[in-house]
A = this chain, B = another copy of it.
């Protein structure tokens, strides 16, 4: 049996399958727009070989190691680095063997689809990963990684990436982006303005980050006016390195539109570390509205990614730090939360605010009705745990009827796993074509209109929504 089925993710009913195949043929080779992601710009700046297979596929991928952890594999055995620098497994082959021995855990998951796609299309493999094939796999991938055609820029070209966005903190010096630009390499790698560290009073280092932003911009960030000016200057700096968007990962979608004096007072408290939890939350919420106002001036698209309860395990946080698979979603309110921002600037059609959710119950109930009315709003694609065939299908089924296709923004891969990017876009294209095929086969969409919609979902909507 082949590693990948050519008709994967298409309906098996022949009428729908043929429709889906035809639609997919029309979008399969479109260039990739990756407007929101977490690849490391250093890869493209230095263009050095990726390290060993375990470092490529296991150790940095929280989708992978959290699943192994859920069945009792210690994170340290997978080489996940400790905060205190203490010893963890470092032998790539040993880590890879553990991974291979547990590969059945990924049956039915999107990780399995992405991994098999990477094995097949990036590394030319056509046998299943098992305990028996683990060493062969390891050697084969390691051999590949040593070759020039597996370096980051070569893969960037092979993957057909038209533009990719990375994400950097507001105080990042963007040195790798500068190095990319100065290298003359034509690949389009843009940054994204991620100011959580200078907006969230509860984040470690907040005051220091704000002070650094003052040094970087020459504004007096001990004052509210200077702080806002510093944001404007950093946004301009990010735009110089291609940024077309900002991104905000707050715990909730709360926004506020406070009187300026009240916001200034909260900012003062925040700098002094005297905000209550409620005040910190209000300040974060108000800053989303300030960011939206700046977007009206500088054109950055505003992305809101709420809903994750981070670091659910105290032990994992203490030993291994953030982003280790123990971030768990919870219910998320959008209707009352977004109202202050929307009433401030939401009727402006020149503003674009892209909403994401981890609470699928909000799609049909809140997000599609919001995006189907407010001119500034667009819906981001199925995100994180829902970036999967069933999740993407549910996204279309629960949003299209109320918001249509044109209030959505195509696909984001949102990944730091570089080799999975073509796989993830391929899954999205297949699932969307399958959905369109179902609409055509059941008389809900004209067969002559479907190819255009398919191209929009695969390429056009992302390019336009993100102004890339």
Contact residues of A with B, CB < 8 Å?
1, 4-13, 15-16, 66-67, 69-72, 104-110, 112-113, 128, 309, 312-316, 325-331, 333, 335-336, 339, 342-343, 346-347, 349, 358-361, 364-366, 368-375, 377, 385-386, 388-391, 397-398, 400-407, 438-439, 441-449, 453
Q: Which residues of B contact A365 (CB under 8 A)?
A: 329-331, 358-361
Cβ contacts under 8 Å, A316 to chain B: 347
Chain B residue contacts of A358, Cβ below 8 A: 365
Assembled-state Cα–Cα distance A110/B447 (Å): 17
- How many Å lie between the Cα of A390 and that of B398 in the bound state? 8
Looking at the assembled complex, report how far the CB atom of A430 sits from the nearest CB atom of chain B, in whole angstroms: 9
Most chain B beta-carbon neighbours within 10 Å: one of A11, A108, A364, A448 = A108
Known: A109-B402, A360-B364, A449-B107. A10 touches B313 (CB 8 A): no
Interfacial chain B residues near A113, Cβ < 8 Å: 444
- Given A342-B312, A375-B69, A442-B9, residue A369 in contact with residue B108 (CB < 8 A): no
- Assess whether A366 is in contact with B329, with CB atoms less than 8 Å apart: yes
Contact among B7, B312, B325, B343 for A314, CB-based, below 8 A: B343
- Chain B positions within 8 Å of A398 at CB level: 390
- Pair A7/B443 contact, Cβ less than 8 Å: yes
**Contact, CB under 8 Å: A401 / B405:** no
* Bound Cα distance from A108 to B360, whole angstroms: 20
Q: Which chain B residues lie closer than 8 Å to A446 at the CB level? A: 1, 128
CB <8 Å contact, A339 and B366: no
Are B390 and A401 touching (Cβ within 8 A)? yes
Chain B neighbourhood of A369, CB < 8 A: 327-329, 385
Nearest B-chain residue to A363, judged by Cβ: B360
Tell me the nearest residue of chain B to A357, going by C-beta: B365
| A442 proximity list for chain B (CB < 8 A) | 5, 7-12, 389
- Are A377 and B70 touching (Cβ within 8 A)? yes
Given contacts A343-B315, A366-B330, contact A443 B9 (CB under 8 A): yes
Supposing A107-B405, A371-B70 touch, asked if A309 and B336 sit within 8 A by C-beta, the answer is yes
* Interface contact A313-B342, CB-CB below 8 Å: yes
Query: What residues on B are CB-neighbors of A360 within 8 Å?
Result: 361, 364-365
B343→A445 contact, CB < 8 A: no
Q: Is the CB of B400 within 8 A of A443?
A: no
